Amino acid sequence: MASEGEFRILRRLAHFLAVAEERHFGRAAARMGLSQPPVTAQIQALEQELGVKLLERTRKGAHPTREGEALLPMLRRLAEDARRVEDLARELRTGRHAPMAMACVTSALFGHLPPLARALRNARPEASLSVTEMDTTDALEALRRGEVDFALVRLEREHAPFAVLPLGADDLLVALPEGHALLKRPGPVPLAALAEEPLVALPRRISPAYFDRQVEACRAAGFEPRAMREVGSAMAQLAFVASGLGVALVSAGIAGLRPPGVVFRRLIGGPTSVGVALAWNRERESETTRLAEAVARAAFHLAPRDDEADDAG
């Protein structure tokens, strides 16, 4: 719980931000609906509390010192967060539901996000839905911190403290640059044919299960991936392939991006990728996460949860 001292320093920081942006004590005071002396006193108290000089006073006004400038980006983010708190409180007072926040991996943007988002909007039309593109590792960390309510990630099984609802199997495809020799013959490509190809891959830290499944598939085909070139995103991965810098093993969901210069082919034997799953933090379960689970089960034609089935019976 925030202490009285913490609230006091937040008020003083708001005074400093107003003066720094207005470059004038009088204009800052007017903006805040105050007289100038209290604003001056709050700034002086803040400087004494922090032990740094924040403003240079001149006859024409004031401007931030080097130390003051260093604080401004963080203070502007705090001010924006405060405005969001006010907006949310206003919506809640008028009876609207709290907004829903979710994270989504790139490869789920086309195949999984649209049906889930439509179903969520239909189930709760009065609530807004925000979506942030993240890789699996970052999405799980956002769930841990409570920054998002649920996420579409690449996971197959429970991953404490996260609940995981797999939304279906996903095939592993090969992404080849246009004109590649393996495209001369139609049909699926043998995975072993990629043994000597430079492989463009996402780092294991982004999604360990996704990375490991690809390595396992290569080993099952009799080879170790050669000259793996790591890139930071799925879009970069496809751009490298389009540029002729290698080939990539990708989930079928990524083919929905339809990037120019890249041709997707199925692999003989149909190796599977780690599928997309809905994940949420069990330690932060709420009405929103329960709604997301129920909606996802319906949207992707999954069996209802045991307790839901019992209620239906």
Average pLDDT, the chain: 86
At position 201, the amino acid (one-letter code) is A
- What confidence tier does 96 reach under pLDDT thresholds 50, 70, 90? low
Are 221 and 76 in a shared domain?
Answer: no
Last residue of a domain, one of 93, 115, 136: 93
When pLDDT is averaged across residues 99-117 and rounded to a whole number, the result is 91
In a domain, 160, yes or no: yes
Cα–Cα distance for residue pair 69/67, rounded to 1 Å: 5
Q: Number of structural domains, the chain?
A: 3
Last residue of a domain, one of 93, 120, 149: 93
In a domain, 46, yes or no: yes
**Rounded to two decimals, what is the model's pTM?**
0.66
In a domain, 204, yes or no: yes
Cα–Cα distance for residue pair 130/87, rounded to 1 Å: 15
Domain that holds residue 193: 170-273
In a domain, 311, yes or no: no
How does pLDDT run across 27-62, given as a tens digit for each residue?
888 988 888 888 888 888 888 888 888 888 887 888
Are 279 and 154 in a shared domain?
Answer: yes
Are 144 and 283 in a shared domain?
Answer: yes
Half-sphere exposure of 14 (CA within 13 A, CB side): 18
Residues sharing a CB contact under 8 Å with residue 259, sequence separation 6 or more, in sequence order = 235, 238, 239, 242
Strands (E) across 117-235 are located at 129-133, 150-154, 162-166, 170-177, 198-201, 226-230
Q: Which residue has the higher pLDDT, 198 or 78?
A: 198
Are 55 and 196 in a shared domain?
Answer: no
Are 112 and 252 in a shared domain?
Answer: no
Residues 151, 153, 159, 165, CA torsion sign: positive
When pLDDT is averaged across residues 6-19 and rounded to a whole number, the result is 80
Tokens representing 166 are: 């797999």
Backbone angles phi, psi at 62, to 5 degrees: -155, 150
DSSP 8-state secondary structure symbol assigned to residue 156: -
**What pLDDT score was predicted for residue 94?**
55
How does pLDDT run across 177-197, given as a tens digit for each residue?
999 999 998 899 999 999 999
Cα–Cα distance for residue pair 167/171, rounded to 1 Å: 13
CATH number at residue 64: 1.10.10.10
Are 88 and 48 in a shared domain?
Answer: yes
Last residue of a domain, one of 40, 67, 93: 93
CATH number at residue 291: 3.40.190.10
Cα–Cα distance for residue pair 37/293, rounded to 1 Å: 55
DSSP SS3 for 153: strand
In a domain, 312, yes or no: no
- Please report, to the nearest 10 degrees, the dihedral formed by the alpha carbons of residues 119, 124, 126, 128 taken in order: -60
